[in-house]
């Protein structure tokens, strides 16, 4: 299988500059060849830390990514970050469509589609998040919800653009709650997402797209999740803030 295994740490609004550099140094010191050879590791800190972390990671295989960006190249958008600015820090990735952005900052599928296109145009790879709420899981509308998020967020891309996309399935009810989708339930959704991609683009593109799972991934459940055929790694929140836990999860992805 030619898909890249990926583990990305989403630090959310944690760690100031000094703390970010300390955690990065710790993670850098713990990444061994077994992880380097098999897993793409990406650290997504608060944006203020991106440039300094990139310098600290120079010469290693660890990448950096932002947690969000705007779709415009520049302009009067106080407080926002343009994709070219993210790129100028040395970052290679950007998370787009995280459920916290959708929920607390009113980001719509339309806005997200613009962000994705713009980020890719600036040479960034996109970690695009989708996932259903507890209500949507219970009333069994989750397939529809996920399909809409994927279609509207991503399917405006041409094939070449789509090759810069990594999908992250993150059920909202599993984020930061300690609840995790069972490996079988997660696999079912990952398979569904891959089929959507195969039907819209083609089976080869679907086969080559990495689809990550996110939502309370910890060292003790990572192995079972990553063992599933369509789960190609994880987007990690809480456990990414502890270097040893994060590395254990990286190892599980490479196992």
Positions that interact with ligand PGA (CB under 6 A): 10, 170, 175-176, 214-217, 235-239
Pick 123 or 176: Cβ nearer ligand PGA: 176
Residue closer to ligand PGA, measured from CB, 162 or 169 = 169
- For this structure, is 170 an active site residue? yes
Q: Which of 54, 70, 93, 98 is catalytic?
A: 98
CB 149 within 8 A of CB 189: no
Among the listed residues 54, 132, 170, 190, the single catalytic one is 170
Nearer to ligand PGA by C-beta: 170 or 232? 170
Q: What does the alpha-carbon distance between residue 35 and residue 109 come to, in Å, rounded to a whole number? A: 34
Give the residue carrying structure tokens 């962000």: 115
What is the residue-wise DSSP string for 153-179?
Answer: HHTTS-HHHHTTEEEEE--GGGTTTS-
Smallest separation (angstroms) from ligand PGA to the CB of 235: 5
Residue 76 CB, shortest distance to ligand PGA, in Å, is 30
* Shortest CB 6 distance to ligand PGA, Å: 13
CA-to-CA dists, residue 170 to 34, 58, 194, 208, 216, angstroms: 27, 30, 15, 20, 9
Query: Which of 212, 158, 199 has the alpha carbon at shortest distance from 44?
Result: 212
Contacts of residue 171, defined as CB under 8 A and 6 or more positions apart, other chains included, come to: 131, 132, 137, 142, 181, 189, 215
Nearer to ligand PGA, 91 or 217 (CB): 217
Q: Cβ of residue 178: shortest distance to ligand PGA, in angstroms?
A: 8
| Residue nearest ligand PGA by beta-carbon distance | 237
- For ligand PGA, the closer CB: 85 or 175: 175
Planar angle of CA 83, 158, 76, nearest 5 degrees: 25
Check if 98 is active-site.
Answer: yes
Residue 230: CA count within 13 A, CB half-sphere: 19
Quote the CA–CA distance of 215 and 9 in Å, as a whole number. 12
Q: How far is the CB of 233 from ligand PGA (least distance, A)?
A: 12
Active site residues: 98, 170
């Amino acid at each position: 299988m030619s898909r890249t295994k990926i583990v990305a740490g989403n630090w959310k609004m944690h760690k100031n500059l000094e703390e970010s550099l300390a955690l990065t140094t710790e993670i850098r010191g713990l990444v061994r060849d077994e992880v380097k050879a098999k897993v793409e590791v990406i650290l997504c800190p608060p944006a203020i830390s991106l440039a300094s972390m990139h310098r600290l990671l120079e010469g290693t295989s660890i990448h950096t990514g932002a947690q969000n960006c705007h779709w415009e190249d520049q302009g009067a958008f106080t407080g926002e970050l343009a994709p070219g600015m993210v790129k100028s820090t040395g970052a290679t990735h950007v998370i787009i469509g995280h459920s916290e952005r959708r929920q607390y900052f009113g980001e719509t599928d339309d806005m997200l589609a613009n962000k994705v296109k713009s980020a890719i145009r600036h040479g960034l790879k996109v970690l695009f998040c989708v996932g259903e709420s507890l209500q949507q899981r219970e009333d069994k509308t989750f397939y529809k919800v996920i399909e809409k998020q994927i279609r509207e967020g991503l399917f405006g891309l041409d094939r070449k653009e789509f090759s810069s996309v990594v999908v992250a399935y993150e059920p909202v009810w599993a984020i930061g709650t300690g609840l995790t989708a069972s490996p079988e339930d997660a696999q079912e959704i990952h398979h569904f997402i891959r089929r959507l991609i195969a039907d819209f683009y083609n089976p080869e593109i679907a086969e080559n797209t990495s689809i990550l799972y996110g939502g309370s991934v910890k060292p003790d459940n990572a192995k079972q999740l990553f063992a599933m055929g369509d789960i190609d790694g994880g987007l990690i929140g809480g456990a990414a803030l502890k270097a040893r836990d994060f590395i254990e999860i990286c190892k599980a992805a490479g196992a």
